[in-house]
Chains A and B, each alone.
Chain A
């Protein structure tokens, strides 16, 4: 998180800078629909990109790489076909490192926490997909909003099992989060029930 440079801000920009970027969007929709992938599985396909490739490619190349990876993993096309047609290498995302979730456990129907409750984010390391940002793990915050019950990304990214849980918007004081002197700033993070203790 440290040492990052300035934001290369633009006041306005087109949705697609190059025609291929719009095509990548349509291909992603097509593959996601044909392979019936969950949002978690799609996001995890991007997260599995080789780090050097991820950092040196744009959003739409991330989408293309995820679409092609999912298309190969679900048997819609083969890697050899892609490379043959592209006339060269076709970098795909790396393997899934977490085992498939066999038993997702029961759904959680009732929120455990209410607005104003003090909660702490569990401290753990996930080998697979999660939507719990690292920077809040182990940190304490306050629930400011109880949202709906949604499929847990950590489960849906790794197989066909599903578990649904309530989600919360949790407010963290910036100075407490980072251990510095920032004043009058807070960060809200939206978290699934099982991320909290």
Chain B
């Protein structure tokens, strides 16, 4: 390994395997020019929790939009221009004083890509996937989201075609805020349901 940066580190085994498949698919004419850059750019800058935050902020300021969002998540989210892979059947579940929702995929890593982007590593790891259905109240507390005993926890396991988005409660003291300022308060974790804004 170079200490001086003149020689890049040799590729790791996984990088060699990725390069091998990429080269073979390119030679077969199957991998279009520019696809790799395009995919990387889209997931790094266009598809992520900033999209979901816009949906949540709109629902907080516009009661008619909130109603449409809860009645047909896919259509209401498409109104803001978001949709695509892993977002063809979106269901929005609303937190209230009495109910807290949280999403998980116990079988793999299903996640509402158009509004939250690609899932974080911990969402895909076995401890979260197993424990969020086995002991949700204990795990939420451990993750920094303790809930009163009388708040009902609803866990949604994305095991079929629907992908879920949590609509968090609007924080108090935000009455005068603009939609854009409100969107800045909405975190990825609040839309998964492991935090409250």
Contacts and interface: CB of A to CB of B under 8 A. Distances in A.
Interface of A: 1, 4-16, 18-20, 22-27, 29-31, 34, 43, 46, 55, 58-59, 61, 64, 67-68, 71, 76-77, 81-82, 84-90, 131-133, 135, 145, 147-148, 150, 167, 169, 174, 177-178, 182-192
Contacts of B15: 18, 20
A32 to B, nearest CB: 11
Contact of A7 (B17, B47, B119, B131): B131
A29 B121 contact: no
Contacts of B124: 58-59
Interface residues of B, number: 72
A19 B18 CA distance: 10
A90 B153 CA distance: 44
A182 B43 contact: no
B120 A90 contact: no
Interface stretch (B24-32, B53-61, B177-185): B24-32
A23 B18 contact: yes
16 contacts: A6-B142, A9-B143, A13-B120, A15-B118, A16-B40, A23-B22, A25-B39, A30-B35, A55-B126, A64-B21, A76-B25, A77-B25, A150-B161, A186-B152, A187-B133, A188-B154
Contacts, number: 205
B125 A7 contact: yes
B127 A27 contact: no
Nearest 3 pairs of A and B residues by beta carbon: A85-B20, A22-B40, A190-B160
Nearest to B11: A20
Contacts of B137: 182, 185
A5 B38 CA distance: 37
A183 B127 contact: no
Given A7-B131, A135-B106, A86 B155 contact: no
A26 B39 contact: yes
A26 B149 contact: no
Given A64-B14, A131-B107, A82 B20 contact: yes
Contacts of A84: 20
Given A7-B122, A61-B14, A187-B155, A82 B142 contact: no
B162 A190 contact: yes
B36 A22 contact: yes
Given A6-B142, A182-B137, A187 B157 contact: yes
Secondary structure class of chain A's binding surface, majority of residues: mixed
B65 interface: no
Nearest to B17: A86
Interface string B114-151: 00011111101111101101111101001110000111
B16 to A, nearest CB: 5
Contacts of B157: 133, 187-190
Contacts of B150: 184
A117 B107 CA distance: 25
Interface in B92-119: 106-109, 117-119
A26 B21 contact: no
